[in-house]
Amino acid sequence: MRDVFRRVGSTPTADPQLPPTAGLDGVACRTAAKAPAGESSVVHRVGWGFISLYTLAYTSTCLLFLAPALVSLALKVNSLVGIEQAPNSLALVTGIGALLAMFGNPFFGRMSDRTSSQLGMRRPWMVIGLVGGSLGILIVALAPNIPVVLLGWCIAQLFFNALLAAQVAVLPDQVPAVQRGLVAGVLGVCLPIASVSGTFLVQLFTGNQLAMFLGPCAIGGFFVLVFAVTLEDRRLAKEVKPTWSLREFLSTFYVNPRKSPDFAWAFASRFLFVLAYAFLSTYQAYYLLDKIGSAEAGVPHQIFLGTLTQSSVLVAASLVGGRLSDRTGRRKSFVLTAAIVYGVSMFAIAIASNFNGYLVGMAIGGLGFGMYVAVDLALVADVLPDNANAAKDLGVLNIAGALPFSVAPAIAPAILAIGGGSYSALYAFAGVCAIIGAFAILPVKSVR
C-alpha cells in the first residue's frame, strides 16, 4: 500500500495532488509522488489540530449510535411491551436496523467516493447523515408502538451510517501509513468516551424519554458539524468520476476474497469480535434485570458505572497500544492478544453473580477492547484493496461491524432457550466468538 494519500485543492484535476498543508495545523510538506526532482521526499503528516477535531467528531458519531443502543432503546421497548416481550421486540428492532446499516454503510461509502460536489467528497454526506439520523431518533422517542420504533430506528441507522462511512474514509484520505497507528489509537478512545458520555447523559434525563434520545444528538451533532465545516476535504473532478453501472453498484457490497485475502480475513476477525460485543451491548440491560436482579430504575446508572469502568481501562490500552504498534511495526499480534482478552472478559461476565463481578468483567473487557480498536483500524487501512475506493471498501468492512448487531439478536433467543434462559450461556458464547476472531487474523500476510 502506498504511503501517499491525497486531498485535492481548490482546482480539481485528474492527477492526484496535495494542498501545501496537511491537517489543520498546517504542517507543510509534499508527498513523494509530487516532490520536485532533487528534493527529498517527505511523508505528508497530519497535525494535532486535525487529529483533535477528528477525534471530537468521531466521538460524537459514536455517541449518536451508542446512547440509544446501550440504554434508551431497550428502555423504550420495555416501556411499550414489558419485560417478558422486550427481548424479542428489541431483537426485531435492532436486527432489522442492523441489516439496513449493513447495506447502507458501503452504499453511502460508494456514493461518497463518487461525489464531485464543490463542498467535497465527504462533507455533504456527514451533514446529510447527521440530519437524517437525528430525525429517525426523534421518531423513536415519540413512537407509540413497536412498528413506529422500528421505522425510526431504521431511518436513524441508515443515515447515521452515511455519516460514519464518510467520516471513517477521512483516515485513509488524510493520514499517512506512518501515523495510522497513532491516529487509530487516539480514535480508539472515542468509543469509550462516547459510551460513558452517552450513558451519563441518559441517566441525567431519566424520566424524560424525549431528552434521553435528543440530548446526545444535539451535543454530538455540534462537533460533527464543526469538523465537517473545517475539514480540508478531498474533491473529485466530474470528468474523472467513474461511470455508474449495475455491475459497479453490486460491487459496492463486495470485495473479492480471492483477490484480497488479507481484507477477507480482517473482515472475518472483526465480524466475530464485534459479534461478541453485540451480545454484551444489546442485552446488558436485561442481563442486569434478570441475572443480577437489578431494579429497572437503577439500570441506567449501573450501565453508566459499568461503561465508566470499562472505558477507564480502554482509553489507556488504546493510546498505549496504538503507539506500540507504530513503533514495532506490528499489527497482528496486538489484534490477536486483544481479542483473546476480550473473550476472557465475556466469560468473567458470564460467571458473575453480582454487580461487582459484572464490573470486573467490564474492566477486563476494556483492556481487550482498547487494544483492539487502537490497532484493528490501522491494520484495516493497511490492507485496503484500492485507495481510490477507500470509502466503499471501508463500507464493506463496516458490514463486519453492522451485521453482528443483526445476527446477535437473531440467534440470542435460541442460545437463551438452549441455556434455559441463562444469560451466562449467552455471554459464554460471546467469549467463544471473540477468541475465534482472534485466530482469524493470523492468515493476514501483508502486515506483521
Q: What is the DSSP string of 25-87?
A: TTEE---GGGPPTTS-----PPPHHHHHHHHHHHHHHHHHHHHIIIIIHHHHHHHHH-TTTHH
Better pLDDT: 4 or 160? 160
How confident is the model at residue 237, as a pLDDT? 67
pLDDT over 70 percentage in the chain: 79
| Inter-residue contact 198 to 217 (CB < 8 Å) | no
36 within domain boundaries: no
| Confidence band for 148, pLDDT divided at 50, 70 and 90 | very high
Which carries the bigger pLDDT value, residue 303 or residue 393?
303
Total number of domains constituting the chain: 1
The pLDDT of residue 24 is: 30
Least trusted range by pLDDT, from 103-107, 298-302, 426-430? 103-107
Between residues 91 and 73, the one the model is more confident about: 73
Q: Which residue has the higher pLDDT, 130 or 189?
A: 130
Give the DSSP per-residue string, 117-177: -TT-SSHHHHHHHHHHHHHHHHHHHH-SSHHHHHHHHHHHHHHHHHHHHHHHTHHHHH--H
Closest to 335 in 3D by CA, of 427, 176, 448: 448
pLDDT for 374-419, tens place per residue? 777 777 767 666 665 655 676 677 777 777 877 888 888 889 888 8
pLDDT tens-digit map of 304-361: 888 888 888 887 887 777 677 767 767 777 788 889 999 999 999 999 888 899 999 9
- Say yes or no to pLDDT of 201 above 70: yes
CB atoms within 10 A of CB 25: 15
Give the confidence band of 18 by pLDDT, cuts at 50, 70, 90: very low
Cβ 363 vs Cβ 220: under 8 Å:
no
Residue 446 domain flag: no
- Cell readout for 402 is 453492522
User: Is residue 19 one of the residues assigned to a domain?
Assistant: no
Confidence check: pLDDT of 286 > 70: yes
- Does residue 110 belong to any structural domain of this protein? yes
Which range has the worst mean pLDDT, 99-103, 215-219, 243-247, 365-369? Answer: 243-247
8 against 62, higher pLDDT: 62
pLDDT at 10: 33
Give the residues across from 160 on adjacent strands. Answer: none
Domain for residue 150, yes or no? yes
Domain that holds residue 317: 48-439
Q: What is the dihedral of CA 169, 442, 185, 260, to 10 degrees?
A: -10
Q: Residue 405 and residue 132: Cα distance in Å, rounded? A: 21
Confidence tier at 45 by pLDDT (50, 70, 90): confident
β-partners of residue 21 are: 28
pLDDT value at residue 163:
92
Residue 371 has pLDDT above 80, yes or no: yes
In a domain, 34, yes or no: no
Q: What is the pLDDT of residues 240-274, one digit of tens each?
A: 666 666 666 666 566 666 776 777 788 888 899 98
Q: Which residues pair with 27 in a beta bridge?
A: 22
Q: Which of the pair, 420 or 9, is modelled with greater confidence? A: 420
Three-state secondary structure call for residue 22: strand
What is residue 145's predicted lDDT score, i.e. its pLDDT? 94
Residue with cell 437525528: 134
Q: What is the pTM of this model?
A: 0.64
| Average confidence (pLDDT) over 31-52 | 55
298 in a domain, yes or no? yes
Question: Which CATH number is 398's domain given?
Answer: 1.20.1250.20
The dihedral of CA 426, 430, 432, 436: what is its sign? positive
* pLDDT at res. 11: 31
Beta bridge partners, 28, equal: 21
pLDDT at 30 over 60: no
Average model confidence (pLDDT) for the chain?
A: 78
Per residue in 161-191, pLDDT (tens digit) is 899 888 888 887 778 777 777 787 677 678 7
What CA–CA distance (Å, rounded) separates 191 from 175? Answer: 20
- 334 within some domain: yes
